[in-house]
Every structure is written in structure tokens, then in C-alpha cells.
Amino acid sequence: MTSAPTKSSTERRTRSGAGQPSWPFVIVANRLPVSLTRRKGEKHWTTSPGGLVSALTPIAQRAHGAWVGWSGSVDDRLEPFEHDAIAQVPVTISRQDHHDFYQGFCNRTLWPLYHDAVQNPEYHRHWWRSYVAVNERFARMVAETVQADGAVWVQDYQLQLVPALLRALRPDLRIGFFLHIPFPPAELFARLPWRRQVLEGLLGADVIGFQTERNRGNFLRVVGQYTRAQASDAGPIRHDGRRLQAAAYPISIDFELYESVALAPDTEPRVERLRQRLGSSRKVILGIDRLDYTKGIDHRLRAFHELLLSGLVKPSDAVMVQVAVPSRERVAEYAELRRRVEELVGQINGEFGEVGVAVVHYVRRNLTPENLVAMYRTGDVMMVTPLCDGMNLVAKEYVATRFDNSGTLVLSEFAGAAEELTDALLVNPHDVDGIGAAILSALTMDPVEAAGRMAKMRAIVRGHTVHDWARSFVADLVPARQRRSILGG
Ligand code: G6P
């Protein structure tokens, strides 16, 4: 997507002559749904990476609301604009914020801490100060953007202080917060030197949403431990004379959209071309992930390598395709993961590939929606094996594209999606032998059994889409009369 944004009504409505903000519904996330890059001085907009953006874009489009976030480029001072039928309200992130807030506190403190500390989290006071300052900036921008008695939906770990900061500025608003990543067990959360401040930030919301009941339970436990709020498993939380709700709202995808792209006439020829390039008689084992150390990419490559070494899988029978979407590349742990993955791919191909015939195809880029769906349709075995993951929408997207009930999903027990997709082949992603065994069973599964499992998973994803997710959250957040305008009927 490289089309140019327009100014349209957005600018007028956020900075109107009378200085009155006028959006009734505002989504706030660290990133805008589109990211700015500059090539030869020209601006290009591309879809931002990650599950958050893919889930919320259809909601924002239906709601005709505004989206407050960062453009993805540092030191930019952009005016509000409209793009993809969404009013985009940019917040400036300086080079220093990028270092201390984004790469530091968000992605070297909170991200590893909230993902089971699979990498060691670092705690630095200047990173925390930057986190506070950037959250304050977001809260001020939202306060200027949303109309009286409007509703605001704050997203994810980068903005946990915004609910309380915004409430202090605008007590008239209804404020929701949704955490897309896991909320960690109390023993891990307790390490955070600023644990009380983070909890008090979240408690500024009226509704706090988590991916799973387990995450909600973890949260209630630490609220009881580290704040003065009264929290119990049943009933609302009481804090500061207010009642607020914490609940699980498992996120999902736009099932119909993925299915319709899968059924579109130009998808099958793309799939055919991919199959021919990969070798028509070989089964395709597929992984599609952000290049992130929580995703277990290296573990799954090792499992495939061992299957080849054991001779249980032959290069003429199966091929692995790993699509890795570049992510947080300046953070050291991500650079190290990339090095490890690329070394493994090289090693496996060196040992088992032939000239012109690879056993692992590694593609490090973002795919267009059409190519993504063609890739899903090409995968006979889909590997979604994160070490820890809030939900994982790739698993649900794959299922939505398998309209003929073909294909097998191998899914980590530690992805939120495993609570719903119990007909996948569930694996412990740390267990390299277990992953290998799951790959083997997927490759050899009786087609009738595979189709039965896929049909059940499809019914589950079809029965709870991203629109249902948004509807249930918004129903808890705003009074009935406001819901219709937000959810578009
Ligand atoms: C995950 C997070 C999102 C984040 C996305 C991409 O999906 O939950 O909050 O936006 O990854 O990561 P990035 O650091 O590039 O925004």
C-alpha cells in the first residue's frame, strides 16, 4: 500500500476553529495503522506490522472514529490526515524517545517481562522516565481529540499509563484498555520496579481487557497485592470511588475477509506458481511470524533439521518455508535472533539442499495480503509455535483460508489461541523432539481426520470474529445508545 493520505475532515475536526475536539470514538495505539517511510525524499505509507493493527483496522474503518498513534518515523511533526478511511492523528516520537521509550522500556523491559522473561528484561530509570513522558504526550493528544462524553479505547503494553493520565485530564470520558500480549504471572510482574505505577495507570480505565482468563487472573492477583484497589475474582474492581471491570476478550480476525481472499479467482494461480517453485510433490511446512524471539522460529528449524538428520523426513518429500517479517531490528536481541535463524537456514540447506533445490526457503519481508493468503493456501502444515504469545492471529488466519478443510495446524500450548483451537496438534514449543513428532504426525495424518479437525477449528473462528470481539468489548464500555454508531450497526 503506497497511496498518499489526504487531509480531509480530520484536521478540521481535531483542531477546529473553536478548539473543540469532535471525535466520539478514539482508538489509541503506539503505532498508527500505517507507517511512514521516506525513499529519495518521497513519503510512502505501508501497513504497520503486527496483529494489533490487523485486528483493529476493520473496527476503526467501521466506527468512522479517529486513531491516535505514532507514524513509525522519528522526529516527524505530522498534521492529522485521513488514510484508508481512518482519521489518523499522529503523535511525535523523538529519536531519544525511540531509544528510551520504544526500544528500551517497551521492548527490552516490558516485552520480555510480559513474555515469560524468555529473554532477560532490563530495568533502567531513564527508560521509565521516557515511558511516563511519552504516555503523557499520548494522553494529552487524545484529550484534544475526543469529544465530550466520548469513548476511548487504549491498546497494549506501550500505553499502560494512558488510562489514568487521561482520566485526570478528561473525567467525562469512558476509557477502555486492551492488552494484546500476555499479562505475566505475579512472580514475574513483581520484579518490575514500577509495578504499582503501571497498575494504577491501568486502573484509570473503566474496562480492562485481556486475551485469556489466565491473564485476567494474573492481573487481579497483583492488583490485590500492590494497590489499594479491591479486586476479587467475582464482581467489579473498586478503586478510587469507582467500579471497573476486568475481563477476558479473546481477540480474533475478520474471518470472511480472509476466506474471501482465499476464494478469489487470482489466488489459486498464485498458489499453483508457489507449489511448482517449491516442488509439486513435496509437502509444504510453513511458518509466518514477526522475526521475534518469542515466536520459537529457531526451535522449529532445529526440529525440522533433526527430522532430516534422522531420515524420517526426506528432502524430496517435504520443504519448509519460513516467512519472517522484519521487526525491532535495532534491538540487540532481535539482531541476535536473526543471526541465529539465518545461520540455521544456511546450515540446513548446506547439508540437505541441492543446487537449485533448497529444503528451507527463508523470506525476510512483509507480504501483501494477497501473497499472504496464497502462502497460507500453499502450506500443508502450518507451524505456529511461539514460546509465549497473547493470542497469535496467524493461527486463526490460516484456519480461515482453509475453505476446503485441508491443512494441519501445529500450535504451541503457550499461545492464547490454544485455548480455543484445541483441534490443532498442540505442542510444547520448547520440546524440540515434541515439535518433530508433531511435524511427522501432521505430514502423515489421515486426510479424513485432518479435515475433521480443520472443520471444527473453522467453526470456532467463524463463530467468534474480530467484530464479535470488538462488539463485546464496546458493549461493556459504552451505553447502548453509543454502541451503534461505534460498531456500525
Ligand atoms: C505486537 C504488539 C503490538 C505491536 C506489534 C508490532 O503485535 O502487540 O503492540 O505494534 O507487535 O511491533 P512494533 O514494535 O513494530 O510496533
User: Strand (E) positions, 136-252?
Assistant: 146-155, 174-178, 207-210, 237-239, 242-248
- Specify the range with the lowest mean pLDDT, choosing from 83-87, 137-141, 360-364: 83-87
- Looking at domain 2-252+467-487, its CATH architecture is 3-Layer(aba) Sandwich (3.40)
How many CB atoms are located within 10 Å of the residue 365 CB? 9
Parallel, antiparallel, or unpaired: how do β-strands 34-39 and 42-47 relate? antiparallel
- Specify the range with the lowest mean pLDDT, choosing from 11-25, 80-94, 255-269: 11-25
Q: Is 371 exposed, middle or buried (0-12, 13-18, 19+ CB in 10 A)?
A: middle
- Ligand 1 pocket test: pick from 27, 103, 108, 290 the residue with the most ligand atoms within 8 Å of its Cβ: 290
pLDDT in tens, 412-440: 999 999 999 999 999 999 999 999 999 99
| Whole-number Å distance between alpha carbons of 353 and 394 | 28
Query: Going by CA atoms, what residue is nearest to atom 12 of ligand 1?
Result: 50
Helix 480-487 crosses helix 466-477 at what angle (to 10 degrees)? Answer: 150
Contact by Cβ (8 Å): 66, 145:
yes
C-alpha torsion sign, points 19, 24, 30, 34: negative
Tell me the CA end-to-end span of the chain in Å, nearest whole number.
28
Task: Give the pLDDT of residue 97.
Answer: 98
- Ligand 1 pocket test: pick from 67, 156, 289, 366 the residue with the most ligand atoms within 8 Å of its Cβ: 156
**Ligand 1 atom, smallest distance to 156 CA:** 9
b or e along 289-316 (b: 16 or more beta carbons within 10 Å of the residue's beta carbon)?
bbbbbbbbbbbbbbbbbbbbeeeebebe
Task: Give the pLDDT of residue 41.
Answer: 84
Residue 4's pLDDT band (cuts 50, 70, 90): very low
Across all residues in the chain, what is the average pLDDT? 94
Task: Give the pLDDT of residue 311.
Answer: 98
Residue 378 grid cell = 500453499
pLDDT in tens, 18-41: 455 689 999 999 999 999 988 888
Give percent of the chain with pLDDT exceeding 90: 87
| Whole-number Å distance between alpha carbons of 90 and 1 | 19
Q: Does residue 2 carry a pLDDT above 50?
A: no
In the chain, the amino acid numbered 321 is: V
Q: Which CATH number fits domain 255-463: 3.10.640.10, 3.40.50.2000, 3.20.20.70, 1.10.1040.50?
A: 3.40.50.2000
pLDDT in tens, 83-115: 989 999 999 999 999 999 999 999 999 999 999
159 lines ligand 1 (CB under 6 A): no
* For range 310-328, the mean pLDDT: 98
Alpha helices in 279-320 (DSSP H): 297-310
**Ligand 1 atom, smallest distance to 51 CA:** 7
Q: Does residue 13 carry a pLDDT above 60?
A: no
- Residue ranges matching CATH 3.40.50.2000 in the chain: 2-252+467-487, 255-463
Alpha helices in 353-403 (DSSP H): 369-378, 393-401
pTM over 0.85: yes
Q: Does residue 1 carry a pLDDT above 60?
A: no
Active site residue 180: yes
182 lines ligand 1 (CB under 6 A): no
| Whole-number Å distance between alpha carbons of 67 and 48 | 13
Residue 17's pLDDT band (cuts 50, 70, 90): very low
50 lines ligand 1 (CB under 6 A): yes
Query: Going by CA atoms, what residue is nearest to atom 10 of ligand 1?
Result: 50
Give percent of the chain with pLDDT exceeding 70: 95
Cβ partners under 8 Å of residue 307, min gap 6: 313, 436, 439, 440
28 lines ligand 1 (CB under 6 A): no
pLDDT in tens, 143-158: 999 999 999 999 999 9
Angle 295-297-303 from CA coordinates, rounded to 5°: 130
**Ligand 1 atom, smallest distance to 181 CA:** 8
| Whole-number Å distance between alpha carbons of 331 and 341 | 16
Give distance in angstroms: CA of 38 to centre of ligand 1: 21
Active site residue 98: no
C-alpha torsion sign, points 89, 133, 294, 27: negative
180 lines ligand 1 (CB under 6 A): yes
Q: Does residue 488 carry a pLDDT above 70?
A: no
31 lines ligand 1 (CB under 6 A): yes
